[in-house]
Amino acid sequence: MITVEGLTRTYGGFTAVDDVSFVCRPGRVTGFLGPNGAGKTTTMRVLVGLTPPTRGRATIGGHLYRDLPNPGRHVGVLLDASAQHGGRTGREILTLGATAMGLPMSRVDEMLHLVSLTPDEASRRLRHFSLGMKQRLGIAHALLGDPQVLILDEPANGLDPAGIRWMRGLLKGYADRGGTVLLSSHLLHEVEQIADEMILIGHGRIVAQGDKKTLLESQRATRTATTTVVSLDNARLAEALRARGLQVTPGPDALAVACEAVEVGRVAAEHQVVLVDLRSVESGLEDLFLELTSTTQREGHRPGPPGYRPQGPPQGPPQGPPQGPPAYRPQPGAPR
């Protein structure tokens, strides 16, 4: 169990973490989400005693990290996979960890096997490791002492798709066996798949938290429904929908309409316009994230209708697969 109570950390006049409170429970994976500079790493650093808090407390199993005897046996930590001596081999790094924690040397091979680092790779110096290899070694190091709690900062960073899937299974299995996992990430769709609980942070403040299902449902309840529609005569359909007082955003192939799909279907039937595709756009975690942290986005993102993907190079956190029809792209100059 991780407990953070009224945690504040300031640097001079700047508040990096502002009165943050949350709990991570055993048997659950908790995702910690927020834009760059939101305060995720700072919170995690306070949790493991690397940064003193200005106010508040962060405990693991009721204890401050520094009061834990042999902390690696209780808490596995991965904050920065490169924060190891670059001249040591992967095997040496794990061997030193196992020695410090009083573990049998057989744990080193077990962990190398678990994270799929080959003996040849493990014999290379860390400075020659690829990003994903460093990340795998960091996960091996965090799990070495068979801890009950894992604190992982962007653990999927640098992992290939197979590695991300592997890590998802690993962490889910770990939580199913009663472990507590706190992981930060920018990979929203990954977190959506892996986390049971979510904490969303922006500008050092928590903007939403709770179990994933409830958060997403509350998001849906407060949004206007959006439908995308493709017909044989989009211009006529758009005109008819607007005449009904509905907001229509045209794209090259589809229209986005701010209402339920059934309403669009009715208007199309009345005007005898043949529909080719009609679907409700589900708003997901990405919309919730962008909406709640919109004032802290560097890109000045203003949320559009759910599923609406602006054209041009990706901005802000990585974009997942489009939720609307693949062909739907807003027209230049369409409201964003």
**Contact residues for Mg ion, defined by CB under 5 A:** 40-41
- Could you tell me how many residues of this chain bind ligand ATP (CB under 6 A)? 10
Which one of residues 1, 6, 27, 36 is an interface residue with ligand ATP (CB under 6 A)?
Answer: 36
From the CB of 204, what's the least distance to ligand ATP, in Å?
7
* Token pair for 140: 């091996």
Contacts of 37 (CB under 8 A, 6+ apart): 296
Q: Which stretch binds ligand ATP (CB under 6 A): 36-44, 157-165, 251-259, 313-321?
A: 36-44
CA distance 303 to 300: 10
CB of 153: closest distance to Mg ion in angstroms?
A: 6
At residue 281, what is the residue type?
V
Nearer to ligand ATP, 172 or 205 (CB): 205
d(CA 73, CA 218): 38
CA dihedral 99, 104, 105, 110 (to 10 degrees): -120
Say whether residue 58 binds ligand ATP (CB under 6 A). no
Burial 106-119 (b: 16+ CB within 10 A, else e): ebbebbbebbebee
Structure tokens at 297: 């986005």
Segment interacting with ligand ATP, rule: CB under 6 A, options 37-45, 65-73, 107-115, 266-274: 37-45
Nearer to ligand ATP, 89 or 209 (CB): 209
Does position 158 interact with ligand ATP (CB under 6 A)? The reply is no
CB-side exposure of 18: number of CA atoms within 13 Å? 13
Complex with ligand ATP: residue 13 or 326, whichever CB lies closer = 13
Residue 190: CB minimum distance to Mg ion, A: 16
Closest approach of Cβ 41 to Mg ion, in Å? Answer: 3
For the bound state, the minimum distance from the C-beta of residue 297 to Mg ion, rounded and expressed in Å, comes to: 16
- Nearer to ligand ATP by Cβ, of 80 and 253: the residue is 80
Q: CB 36 → ligand ATP: shortest distance, Å?
A: 3
Which of 197, 166, 169 lies closest to 32, judged by CA? Answer: 197
Non-local CB neighbours of 187 within 8 Å, separated by 6+ positions: 156, 164, 318
Interaction pattern, residues 224-253, with ligand ATP; x per rule: CB under 6 A = ------------------------------
- CB 48 to Mg ion: min, Å: 14
d(CA 30, CA 175): 10
- What would the 3-class secondary structure string for 82-146 be? CCCCCCCEHHHHHHHHHHHHCCCCHHHHHHHHHCCCCHHHHCCEHHHCCHHHHHHHHHHHHHCCC
Q: Please, which of residues 6-35 interact with ligand ATP by CB under 6 A?
A: 11, 16, 34
Q: Which residue number, 122 or 187, has a Cβ lying nearer to ligand ATP?
A: 187
- Rule CB under 6 A: is residue 38 a binding residue for ligand ATP? yes
- Least distance to ligand ATP, CB of residue 217, Å: 26
Q: Which residues pair with 250 in a beta bridge?
A: 255
Q: Nearest to residue 7, comparing CAs of 15, 18, 206?
A: 18
Query: Which one of residues 2, 30, 41, 58 is an interface residue with ligand ATP (CB under 6 A)?
Result: 41
Q: Closer CB to ligand ATP, residue 117 or residue 285?
A: 285
Closer Cβ to Mg ion, 41 or 51, answer by number = 41
**Nearer CB in complex with Mg ion: 10/280:** 10
3-state secondary structure 72-93: HHCEEEECCCCCCCCCCEHHHH
Distances (CA, A) of 156 to 99, 111, 265, 285, 300: 27, 17, 42, 18, 26
- Which residues of this chain interact with ligand ATP, rule CB under 6 A? 11, 16, 34, 36-42
